[in-house]
Structure 1
Amino acid sequence: MTRLTAMREHLGDDFPLMVDANQQWDRPSAMRMCRAMEPFNLVWIEEPLDAYDYLGHAELARVIDTPIATGEMLASVAEYVKLIEHQSCDIIQPDAPRVGGITEFLKLTTLAAQAGLTLAPHFAMEIHCHLAATYPIEPWVEHFDWLDPLFNERMAIADGRMIVSDRPRLGVTLSEQLRAWTVDSCVITGAERTVAPANAGIYPRRAT
């Protein structure tokens, strides 16, 4: 709590502050820690339990005033359905590349919106900025500069908000650095398919 106290004192009472436990607590520890963090006015506490502990997260979301966020590690719409049906979180954090792409992401966010959940997609802001902008409840988008070398363009941020690009498609083009790092590729045209070897190539969150 020393570090959390120092951050809140440094940032002030109104600055958005989150805590990410990275699935490190068991249920008793999570309950104890989440209760201890209530006075800090956090936006959310992220992944206090194992990602697949739907019941444990549901109990925390029921009794803790601070919103519970989770979901970034789940890998299918079916897994998110369990999260939503168990009322395991207040803030849902899907990852489009991990869940199967844009279509699958939109399927689960439709369910999330019907449940009244806040959306805070995980990573890959170049995709999630556009997808989050379609969500009916004001979302959050994580901001990382880790993938900057892969693209010629940069995401625009103003006053703590990420600006949706008006450039075509996702608004980014692949850099020469990315092309230099790519060791193989595949071309898919109609029914014909040339498949790259396994593990070939490279695989390329409003801001927090």
Structure 2
Amino acid sequence: MTVTVLVADDHTAIRDGLAMILDNAEGVRVVGQAADGAAAVRQARALRPDVTLMDVRMPGTDGITATRQLLAEGLSEVLVLTTFDLDEYVDGALQAGAAGFLLKSVEAPRLIDAVKRVAAGEGVLAPEVTRRLITAYAAGRGPTPVPHGLETLTEREREVLGCLGAGLSNAQIATRLYIGETTVKTHVSRVLTKLDLRSRVQAAIIAQENGLAAADLREPP
């Protein structure tokens, strides 16, 4: 199965570079490019890409507004590209349900893997972004998701949440917990529903904030 991607970035050189990397990857095809958020939404409506690679700071309609629209209309998953500094756009994209965050300095193999994982329904967080998100939330600068419903999770669901906090993929969680990937997907869905979350990224943040991402889970097998 080929993953289709829409690249949205206001810098032509960056946009073309990302498109070239993805088009040269096996199993990935860039179906469109957009220079701002409004164009990204229009193209997503027409092209229905699996993943939109979204810059956050663009003139006119910014990336966070476009992300909110894409997800509200169910047009595609969104993988956000951000600078090293945490800002209100990243917070907003998290609340909107973006499936992942990467730095613009990401290396090609990591970018390709992230696009495929997001298309498969998984979440992706650059380690640097994770640390800054956690730091910001701890300092009260970010919209920390309230973990109501945490007490309703079963023991297995708490284990799955801990694995999400450690950044494990569905396949890695299945191996770690000795269960099937289909079962993992079911548990992830239940965790998101019980905690009233929109994405695995939000679940990962909650897991880390509440000490559920155990140290022995941080290194995948």
Q: Which has the higher helix share?
A: 2
**TM-score when normalising by structure 1:** 0.36
Larger radius of gyration: 1
